[in-house]
């Protein structure tokens, strides 16, 4: 058996933050609401085209999502198109971001945080010359 690709990632939060995250990932990042199986917990599945890539799950009322473990998680990255539109969204919404270019490939990257503090990287093909 071998790994084929990353399937999805899951963020768990209380209902108020869950709604903020849903709007952020749809309105800013560009994911879309999609079909979610009738699971026991409440939540959303967000899609990049036809693939669910982000699962948002509501925590139980007594669930605490604190960790006392040093994490090595840094960010999640998405391949994107339409750089100008996404950059404009970030600017319009006042979301601080950092832009960089990958040496030798010319790939453009935008880095910013979601409302829960998770780091996001958006990758764009190099501009056509």
Class of domain 9-60+74-124: alpha beta
Length of the chain: 129
For range 89-114, the mean pLDDT:
96
Tokens, residue 92: 């319009």
Q: Which helix (H) or strand (E) holds 108?
A: strand 108-113
Tokens representing residue 10 in the block: 């899951």
For 27, the 3-state DSSP assignment is helix
Nearest to 93 by CA among 25, 32, 9: 25
Distance between CA atoms of residues 60 and 96, nearest Å: 32
**pLDDT value of residue 120:** 96
User: Where along the chain do its domains lie?
Assistant: 9-60+74-124
Given a cut of 90, whether residue 48 has pLDDT beyond it is yes
| Residue 17 three-state SS | helix
State the pLDDT at residue 1: 74
- 68, pLDDT greater than 70: no
pLDDT surpassing 70 at residue 29:
yes
pLDDT score of 33 more than 70 = yes
Q: Which two tokens stand for residue 114?
A: 């979601």
């Amino acid at each position: 058996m071998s790994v084929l690709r990353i399937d999805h990632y899951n963020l768990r939060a209380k209902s108020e933050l869950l709604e903020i995250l849903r709007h952020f990932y749809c309105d800013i990042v560009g994911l879309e609401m999609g079909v979610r199986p009738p699971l026991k917990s409440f939540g959303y599945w967000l899609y990049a085209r036809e693939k669910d890539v982000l699962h948002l799950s509501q925590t139980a009322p007594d669930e605490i999502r604190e960790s006392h473990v040093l994490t090595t998680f840094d960010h999640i990255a998405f391949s994107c198109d339409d750089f100008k539109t996404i950059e404009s969204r970030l600017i319009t919404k006042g979301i601080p971001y950092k832009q960089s270019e990958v040496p030798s490939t010319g790939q453009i990257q935008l880095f910013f945080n979601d409302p829960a503090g998770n780091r996001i990287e958006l990758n764009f093909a190099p501009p056509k010359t």
